[in-house]
């Protein structure tokens, strides 16, 4: 699965090379070829990509820059094919990395990017695999709750370190969100080069943004390849977990597939249950009165035939924006109830297959996929974060939060104006009023406008008053008749860990301790809950894209570091110091108030009922990587 294994020798003739280059993403291919040939002159200043903005092809390289780049790359590929390239060192040279990153981003990048890239770019090793193994004499096992993306990852690392573990999974298979969300049109909205494990890169993704089935297969195959599956108890749910101070172990109550109850004991507990797995049904009056079929997007009822039916959809978030275009051509009438219009980011390749030339280059040029990944990584965090940062002196806080945010707004508004130029009635309804990046932006390749313009699709922006047996009534008294209602109304994201009961030291109940306002040090550890670790916990979500998989890799690296502290220090458990946790939460809160999503008053699942941003990480990805590389022993009390 690693890229290194997939790289094949170049056998294409000159014509074939030229053709492949037509599909290349040049801002990443130039660095990859510079690295593999050792010829840093490929990174000429005059070829530097200049425009990191959504929807801008080739990083804004001009046609002339692109032609010159292709000519250079053609010669470099020929030299590589014909064996005229001097042998390169097996691992990247640090100065080369600095130079490449500077060239790609147009600025000297933070020095910590170098070790981060060394972790990711080594061709012959998994740079984040634990470099230690537990002493078999130490009796210690771990329970992981959930076999989704992050649970599988934790299992792989535990296995590599020789730590016994069991995964408890409520579903019948692995995959978590990719197992549960089977709605039509479901696909990832972060490019797969980035939305994939660093150690299990695939150079041959069929699409830039994989559909649900492809991702589910990816996680299934990883679970098989790494021998995780045999450690999973499927169709089993954790109902409660309690820390026993006398033995320093966690006692779990499980609901077995047969509906019985069982207990399980382990010395550490990793909650990998995700943030977005408890559907949120809206508190709309009459919701139970509807006589026809109705379901939530994450519990899609495939037995309901939508063909020719009058379908009402409530919500226009990331899920609805995917399934509405997919079902519109099949249904009779589709009424879409929009409360807040999303901002759309133009991504022309959103639904495209990876073109054959690009696919060929990814499988034949060493590290091309890694540099592609770095581009996405940098662009989607450092690149976009400034446009989500609040300038307190900015005079138009209702529409944008800073000049950079306003420029982003203009770009995205222009996109909508272009898409709906022929339908001013719709344009008025779909144009958001709030600053972009206050809530999740939705990717679009033109399909949203095409769908809303269909004759059988009606966009309703009146507030919903109630649901009746036969449809949805809006505040203006109009009843919109429906045979089926589909709720694209999101998830109870800020209710972490529910419905489980988790009890720590002194019989502390985690939900009582949180009092509706979940927090965890680095999103991972919670005072009073020794050896309890969360993955995708509070404040580890990202808004301006980035990949949750990267976060999970950081979190698991940190947890493995915590276990190592225990084993090497002869301790049984570690408990996060209250003052460390509190100082961290204050720091995060203050930083979130410097971002669009912290100051904007628009509805978003990023805030809890108390108005605190419980979901988002306010800094760049590098900062999280830095903080989670290894735990600081002084942050913990040891038992």
Residues in touch with ligand NAP (CB under 6 A) = 187-189, 276, 282, 284, 297, 314-320, 322, 339-340, 440, 464, 488-491, 603, 605
Nearer to ligand NAP, 99 or 339 (CB): 339
Residue 571 near residue 639 (C-beta atoms within 8 A): yes
Nearer to ligand NAP, 154 or 284 (CB): 284
Nearer to ligand NAP, 29 or 472 (CB): 472
Name the region of 520 (left: φ>0; alpha: ψ -120 to 50; beta: rest).
Answer: beta
Least spacing, CB of residue 628 vs ligand NAP, in Å: 21
Nearer to ligand NAP, 451 or 525 (CB): 451
Least spacing, CB of residue 404 vs ligand NAP, in Å: 22
Cα(163)–Cα(143) distance, integer angstroms: 11
Q: What torsion do the CA atoms of 398, 399, 404, 409 make, to the nearest 10 degrees?
A: 160
Least spacing, CB of residue 221 vs ligand NAP, in Å: 20
Query: What b/e readout covers 409-436, taking b as 16+ CB neighbours within 10 angstroms?
Result: bebbbebbeebbeeeeebbeebebebbb
Nearer to ligand NAP, 189 or 575 (CB): 189
Question: From the CB of residue 14, how many other CB atoms can be counted at a distance below 10 Å?
Answer: 11
Residue with tokens 């995708």: 536
* DSSP assignment letter at 491: B
Residue 618 near residue 595 (C-beta atoms within 8 A): yes
Cα(424)–Cα(520) distance, integer angstroms: 46
Judged by DSSP in three states, 624 sits in: helix
Least spacing, CB of residue 348 vs ligand NAP, in Å: 17
Q: Which residue is nearest to ligand NAP (CB)?
A: 317
Cα(580)–Cα(17) distance, integer angstroms: 56
What are residue 443's DSSP bridge partners?
345
Nearer to ligand NAP, 58 or 492 (CB): 492
Nearer to ligand NAP, 315 or 527 (CB): 315
Nearer to ligand NAP, 70 or 607 (CB): 607
* CA nearest neighbour of 634 among 590, 591, 583: 583
**Three-state helix/strand/coil letters over 409-473:** HHHHHHHHHHHCCCCHHHHHHHCCCCCCCCCCCEEECCHHHHHHCCCCEEEECCCEEEECCCEEE
Nearer to ligand NAP, 340 or 589 (CB): 340
Query: What b/e readout covers 116-134, taking b as 16+ CB neighbours within 10 angstroms?
Result: bbebbbbeeebebebeeeb
Least spacing, CB of residue 285 vs ligand NAP, in Å: 10
Least spacing, CB of residue 314 vs ligand NAP, in Å: 5
Nearer to ligand NAP, 209 or 374 (CB): 209
Least spacing, CB of residue 213 vs ligand NAP, in Å: 14
What are the phi and psi torsion angles at 21 (to 5°)?
-65, -25
Cα(350)–Cα(192) distance, integer angstroms: 11
Least spacing, CB of residue 614 vs ligand NAP, in Å: 14
Least spacing, CB of residue 575 vs ligand NAP, in Å: 31
Least spacing, CB of residue 322 vs ligand NAP, in Å: 6
Query: What b/e readout covers 483-521, taking b as 16+ CB neighbours within 10 angstroms?
Result: bbbbbbbbbebbbbbeebbbbbeeeeebbebbeeebbbb
Question: From the CB of residue 252, how many other CB atoms can be counted at a distance below 10 Å?
Answer: 22
Nearer to ligand NAP, 115 or 282 (CB): 282
Taking CA atoms, 269 is separated from 154, 155, 411, 469, 500, in Å, by 11, 12, 46, 45, 13
Least spacing, CB of residue 283 vs ligand NAP, in Å: 6
* CA nearest neighbour of 70 among 352, 348, 359, 361: 361
Least spacing, CB of residue 352 vs ligand NAP, in Å: 15
Q: What is the CA radius of gyration of the chain?
A: 25
Nearer to ligand NAP, 318 or 390 (CB): 318
Least spacing, CB of residue 444 vs ligand NAP, in Å: 12
- In angstroms, the first-to-last Cα distance of the chain is 40
Nearer to ligand NAP, 220 or 339 (CB): 339
Nearer to ligand NAP, 143 or 181 (CB): 181
Least spacing, CB of residue 491 vs ligand NAP, in Å: 6
Residue 394 near residue 402 (C-beta atoms within 8 A): yes
């Amino acid at each position: 699965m690693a890229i290194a294994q997939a790289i094949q020798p170049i056998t294409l003739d000159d014509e074939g090379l030229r053709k492949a280059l037509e599909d290349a993403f040049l801002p990443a291919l130039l660095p990859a070829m510079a690295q593999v040939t050792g010829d840093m002159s490929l990174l000429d200043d005059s070829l530097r990509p200049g425009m990191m903005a959504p929807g801008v092809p080739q990083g804004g390289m001009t046609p002339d820059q692109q032609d010159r780049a292709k000519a250079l790359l053609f010669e470099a590929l020929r030299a590589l094919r014909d064996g005229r390239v001097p042998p390169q060192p097996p691992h990247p040279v640090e100065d080369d990395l600095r130079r490449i990153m500077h060239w790609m981003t147009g600025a000297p990048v933070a020095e910590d990017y170098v070790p981060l890239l060394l972790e990711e770019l080594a061709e012959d090793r998994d740079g984040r695999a634990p470099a230690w193994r537990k002493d078999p004499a130490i009796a210690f096992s771990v329970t992981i709750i959930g076999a989704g993306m992050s649970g599988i990852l934790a299992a792989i690392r535990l296995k590599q370190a020789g730590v016994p573990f069991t995964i408890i999974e409520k579903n019948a298979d692995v995959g978590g969100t990719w197992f549960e969300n089977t709605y039509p049109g479901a696909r990832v909205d972060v490019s797969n080069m980035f939305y994939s494990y660093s150690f299990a890169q695939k150079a041959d993704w069929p699409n830039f943004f994989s559909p649900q089935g492809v991702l589910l297969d990816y996680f299934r195959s990883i679970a098989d390849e790494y021998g995780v599956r045999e450690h999973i108890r499927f169709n089993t749910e954790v109902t409660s977990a309690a820390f026993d101070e006398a033995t320093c172990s966690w006692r779990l109550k499980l609901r077995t597939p047969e509906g019985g109850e069982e207990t399980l004991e382990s010395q550490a507990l990793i909650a990998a249950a995700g943030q977005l797995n408890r559907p949120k049904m809206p508190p709309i009056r009459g919701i139970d009165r509807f006589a026809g079929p109705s379901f939530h997007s994450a519990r899609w009822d495939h037995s309901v035939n939508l063909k020719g039916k009058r379908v009402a959809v409530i919500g226009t978030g990331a899920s609805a924006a995917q399934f509405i275009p997919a079902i519109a051509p099949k249904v009779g009438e589709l009424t879409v109830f929009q409360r807040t219009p999303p901002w759309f980011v133009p991504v022309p390749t959103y639904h495209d297959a990876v073109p054959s030339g690009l696919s060929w280059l990814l499988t034949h040029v060493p590290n091309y996929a890694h540099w592609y990944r770095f581009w996405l990584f940098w662009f989607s965090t450092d690149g976009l974060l400034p446009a989500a940062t609040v300038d307190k002196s900015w005079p138009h806080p209702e529409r944008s939060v800073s000049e950079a945010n306003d420029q982003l707004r203009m770009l995205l508004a222009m996109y909508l104006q272009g898409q709906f130029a022929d339908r001013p009635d719709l344009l008025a309804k779909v144009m958001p009023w709030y600053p972009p990046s206050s809530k999740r932006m939705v990717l679009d390749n033109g399909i949203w406008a095409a769908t809303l313009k269909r004759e059988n699709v009606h966009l309703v922006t009146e507030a919903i008053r109630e649901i009746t047996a036969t449809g949805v009534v809006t505040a203006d008294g109009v009843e919109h008749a429906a045979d089926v209602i589909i709720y694209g109304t999101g998830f109870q994201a800020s209710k972490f860990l529910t419905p489980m009961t988790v009890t720590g030291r002194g019989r502390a109940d985690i939900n009582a301790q949180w009092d509706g306002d979940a927090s965890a040090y680095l999103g991972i550890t919670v005072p009073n809950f020794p050896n309890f670790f969360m993955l995708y916990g509070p404040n580890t979500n990202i808004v301006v894209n980035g990949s949750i998989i990267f976060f999970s890799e950081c979190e698991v690296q940190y947890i493995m570091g915590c276990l190592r502290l225990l084993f090497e220090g002869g301790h049984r458990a570690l408990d996060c110091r209250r003052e460390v946790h509190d100082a961290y939460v204050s720091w995060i809160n203050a930083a979130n108030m410097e971002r669009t999503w912290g100051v904007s008053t628009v509805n978003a699942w990023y805030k809890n009922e108390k108005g605190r941003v419980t979901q988002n990480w306010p800094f760049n990805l590098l900062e999280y990587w830095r903080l989670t590389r290894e735990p600081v022993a002084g942050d913990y009390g040891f038992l």
